[in-house]
Amino acid sequence: MKVAFIGLGVMGYPMAGHLKNAGLDVCVYNRTEAKASQWCVEHGGNSAPTPREAAENCDIVFTCVGNDDDVRQVIFGDDAAFAGMKPGAILVDHTTASASLARELDAAAREQGFSFLDAPVSGGQAGAENAALTVMIGGDQSTYDAANPAMDAYSKFTKLLGPAGSGQLAKMVNQVCIAGVVQGLAEGLNFAKNAGLDGEALIETISKGAAGSWQMENRYATMLADEYEFGFAVDWMRKDLGIAIEEARNNGSELPVAQLVDSFYEDIQKMGGGRWDTSSLLARLVRK
C-alpha cells in the first residue's frame, strides 16, 4: 500500500514513522522542508515538495496539521492533495478541526471520486510516539474498513462513530470532559498545598478512589513540580474549546464549565504560557 503523510509535527512525525515501520510505502510532505528531510533520514521513506506530489498514486493520504484553514491549504488548490490524488483514494484527516470542515471535505471528496474520514486523535505526543493513540472517526463503513489496517500502525483503539463530522464531534466531547477535570485537579492540588498536605502522599491515596483520572495519574507529579514546558499546548486547547463552544451554540448545549476554563486558558496565554501543557491551570492559581 502506498500512502502519503502531510504534516510532520509533534503528532504527525511519529505517526508517519509507524506507518513506515509497518511496511507501507510512505511519502511525506512538510511545509518546513527540513523536518521532511530529517524524517527521511530517520525512516528511509520519500518526501515530496508539495502535498500534490506526495498524494500522487497513493491509496491513502493522511493529514495532521493545525486548524481548519491549514487543512484547506494542504487539500484545496493547484499544489494541494486533491490535485494529485487518484480516483478511489482515501483522505484521512487527523487534524482536530470543526465538524463543518469535515462535512465540506467529505462532499468535495465525493465530487472528485475520493473517500474521506475525519479522524482526530487523543493520547498526546506520548500516544503518537508509542503507537497508542485513540482515533475517533466519522465516515462510511467501507472507507473505515479500507483505512483501518493502516491506522493500526499508530493506534490502540479506533472507532467509526457515524457519518462525516462524527469524529470531530467526539473529539469536542473529549476536550470538554478534559477541561473540567484538569481545572478540578488544579484546584485540588492548590488547596492541598495551602492546607499543608504532602502532595505525593495525598495523590497516592486519592488516586485509588473515585477522584482518580488520567490527568491525575499522568500530570500530578509535573504539576507539583511546577513544570509545564511539555505536553498538549494551551494554544491548541483554546482552539479545540473554541470549536466545541461554537458547535454547542449550533446544537443547543450549555458548556458553562468549558467556557470558564477556556477563559482561564486565556489568562495563561496572557502569562506567556500559550505553549505550556494544559495542566498549567495550576500555575494560574499559584503564580498570580
**Interacting residues with ligand NAP (CB under 6 A):** 7-12, 30-32, 35, 64-66, 70, 73-74, 95-96, 121-122, 124-125, 232, 236
48 vs 74 by CB, closer to ligand NAP? 74
CA dist., res. 19 & res. 130, Å (int):
13
Report in angstroms how near the CB of residue 76 gets to ligand NAP at its nearest. 12
Between CA 174 and CA 9 the distance in angstroms is 21
- What is the DSSP secondary structure assignment for residue 25, as one 8-state letter? E
Helix (H) or strand (E) holding 163: none
Q: Whose Cβ is closer to ligand NAP: residue 202's or residue 223's? A: 223
Considering the complex, state which of residue 171 and residue 202 has its C-beta at the smaller distance from ligand NAP.
Answer: 171
Closest by CA position to 11, among listed 95, 90, 68, 71: 95
Contact present, 241 and 266 (Cβ < 8 Å):
no
From CA 197, how far away is CA 214, in angstroms rounded? 22
- 8 A C-beta contact, residue 95 and residue 120: yes
Nearer to ligand NAP, 186 or 243 (CB): 243
DSSP-derived 3-state class of residue 170: helix
Minimum CB–partner distance for residue 137 and ligand NAP (Å)? 14
With respect to ligand NAP, which residue has the nearer C-beta, 124 or 188? Answer: 124
Q: Which residues are CB-neighbours of 148 under 8 A, at least 6 positions away?
A: 158
**Residue number, 32 or 194, with CB nearest to ligand NAP:** 32
Minimum Å gap between C-beta 191 and ligand NAP is 28
Q: How far is the CB of 89 from ligand NAP (least distance, A)?
A: 19
Which one-letter DSSP state was computed for residue 261? Answer: H
3-state helix, strand, coil in the chain (%, to 5): 55, 15, 30
User: For residues 55 and 85, is the Cβ–Cβ distance under 8 A?
Assistant: yes
The distance of closest approach from Cβ of residue 66 to ligand NAP in the complex, given in angstroms and rounded to an integer, is: 4
- Closest separation between CB of residue 200 and ligand NAP, Å? 26
Residue nearest to ligand NAP (CB): 9
Q: Which set of grid coordinates corresponds to residue 181? A: 477535570
Would residue 159 show up in a list of annotated catalytic residues for this protein? no
| Reduced 3-state DSSP string for 45-58 | CEECCCHHHHHCCC
Marked catalytic residue, from 2, 35, 86, 171: 171
Could you give the residue numbers annotated as active site? 171
